[in-house]
Amino acid sequence: MKTKNILQKLKAALDLDDTKKKKSALNKAFKKLKAKKKIYKERLANTENKAEKSELEDKLKVIKAQHKKGLIALRKLMKK
């Protein structure tokens, strides 16, 4: 699954009203983001092209930011 689709699912999960469904959707999105992050890190380590490295680093930054945003939302859910 492409990163863009995973991020869309994460956004949709954040918009849900039902707490259980929201937690479940967030956890699924986190697992997929973790897998993508691992793939991008491996590619980054094996790439020598500066343009590709820059692109992969940008993608990793986006994934990290979205993961952090999702974690904050999940922690708020846990407090309820």
Range of the domain at 53: 3-79
Q: Buried b / exposed e across 59-71, counting CB within 10 Å, b at 16+?
A: bbeebeebbeebe
Contacts of 62 (CB under 8 A, 6+ apart): 3, 7
How far apart CA 19 and CA 65 sit, in angstroms, is 22
Q: What is the pLDDT of residues 9-67, one digit of tens each?
A: 777 777 777 777 778 888 888 898 999 999 999 999 999 999 999 999 999 999 999 88
Give the residue among 73, 77, 76, 80 at the shortest CA–CA distance from 10. Answer: 73
How many structural domains is the chain composed of? 1
**Cβ atoms 43, 56 nearer than 8 A:** yes
Q: Give the residue-averaged pLDDT of 62-77.
A: 88
